[in-house]
Structure 1
Amino acid sequence: MRRLFFEPAAWDALAALGRLRLPPTGADVGDERVLAELLADADVVVTAWGTHRLSAAVLAAAPRLRLLAHTGATVKPFVTPESFAHGVRVTQAGDAMGYAVGEQALALTLALLHRVHRFDHALRTGVDWERAKDVPPRRELRGATVGVVGASRTGRAYLGLVRALGAEVLVVDPLLTDAAAADLGVTRVGLDDLLTRSRVVSLHAPVLPATTGMIGARELALLPDGGLLVNTARPALVDEAALLAELRTGRIDAALDVFDAEPLPVDHPLRHLPNVLLTPHEAAGTVESRRRAGAIVVDEIDRFLRGAALRHEIRPEQLDTMG
């Protein structure tokens, strides 16, 4: 993971900021005791997926800790009310990932529109050449209506890309003002309206009480015949059982990067449907995205140590709106 985020120059820059302590070879930083030992006299901790949260035991063992710098976006798995009370500030590198996720969502959109996944499935499973061509009508992105659920960093990256290719964009986001929508060149609508009118629906919302399960059987039924659903956000936004039932009818197609069960079981029915395109939760995993994240972490730590304002700080009240 360190090599993914910190190319040699970035690693040297990080090392120049202070004395680095790395986990022992084979140590599991998801183990509370391992993390507590690592942070015994640390001022800053750099986290990645799988790091144990800053529990009471970890905080008690780390009296000097004052900054958590996360290489990803959401920090909910790592910080606690106790950590903020302990005086630990929090920053993250979510800005690094927005474009990568938006670009993959675009790639999935284009693949669905042109039924690339159906052609690939047919040819790989031995379907006759002529029968392999028998797919639902293929469409172009130019002139299509695309619905974006969530004007998040990834949502804005995606809508900018599809607009550049000629799509008309509808957006659902309670925090998006009319003025901001006008600046983005999109139209604010309600969820039902978006689902009914959109050829493609791409999900980019955080997981909150109001968004959990927001796409269920009723909402999926609103999609037009031949509608396309892209989810590179969070699995909890969609009722997976309802989605699977709708997909089994063949009425809609979907591209999914996130799943209720990860890793996705090898016998999961989603793996066998010709109208589903699957990727293994890797939308943000480009070389460029990882390197941007590492650079953000180095810069934030440098700013913290110099007493400068952090550019990506997360405050306690923001956790409630973070996916």
Structure 2
Amino acid sequence: MDRARASGVALLIAVAGLAFAAGWWLTARTTDAPTASSHAAPPEGMIYVPGGNTRIGADDGMPAERPVFTAQVAPFFMDVHPVTVAQFREFVEATAYVTEAERLGDAAVYDPATGGWRLVPGADWRRPRGPAAPAAPDDHPVTQVSWNDAVAYAGWCGKRLPTEVEWEHAARNARDSRDRYAWGDALVEAGRHRANTWQGTFPGHNTGDDGHLLTSPVGTYGETELGLTDMGGNVWEWTADWFRPYAERETPFEPGPASEKTQRGGSFLCHPSYCHGYRVSARSHSTPDSAFFHVGFRLVKDVEA
């Protein structure tokens, strides 16, 4: 065999070897990568949230949103929308559960006339603004539920509250999206409101341009890339975590009577001049026994290995 022919054969063998190696590598990567078929089907009413690395917080956000840190998140299932009034009623009827607001006899309601909060006797999850106000519609998020109430509901249905990191990872569409909101960078897209928030002047006048002055039916404003709804506006959502500065997240912590649990997602009361709480990095907080007419919750469930 002459030298030129021998070189050609050697080149073909090398190329074939590289192709085989590349094919093996791609197959291995495809097999290892999370896909729709690599996990059990999501339970009814939930979606699969792939795991990954996400930067939590925002350098241009409120002080409580800094410093930004990177978290590794395992995959999980998440409720498509916040728990509704109808879903919570099913729990109460099955267990005879009595919420903390009912036991205490009152709950917090915002008064737009004064721009402040007041405890309204008889306000609870059935009538979030008090006995004299209309009942909460079945397809709206349940409110006037404390963190402890949410944990009780979670235990009944075999789920749990999300951690702050899990919530923000899902809001960033499980790919570390740096969009301001879970759906993009604008509150109104092509003339369509993407969240139930406060329009007009806060606290004096809410124009209701988005169609609702208070809570809205879940799913009204569309889905995120992952298929979640109400990830901004409508109601704040309880999370599993104690509220702490990010700079202290690795230090030991012993909760006391005044310690508070973190909430995420903003509500129909949020306005850019006040809290801009429907940003994916925004945080709020309250004590675990507190109940408000703009706070609800959604749940997650672990993906079995």
Alignment TM-score > 0.5, same fold:
no
Q: TM-score, normalised by structure 1?
A: 0.24
Greater C-alpha Rg: 2
Structure ranking higher in helix proportion = 1
Q: TM-score, normalised by structure 2?
A: 0.25
Structure ranking higher in strand proportion = 2
Tell me which of the two structures has the higher relative contact order, counting C-alpha pairs closer than 8 angstroms and 6 or more residues apart: 2
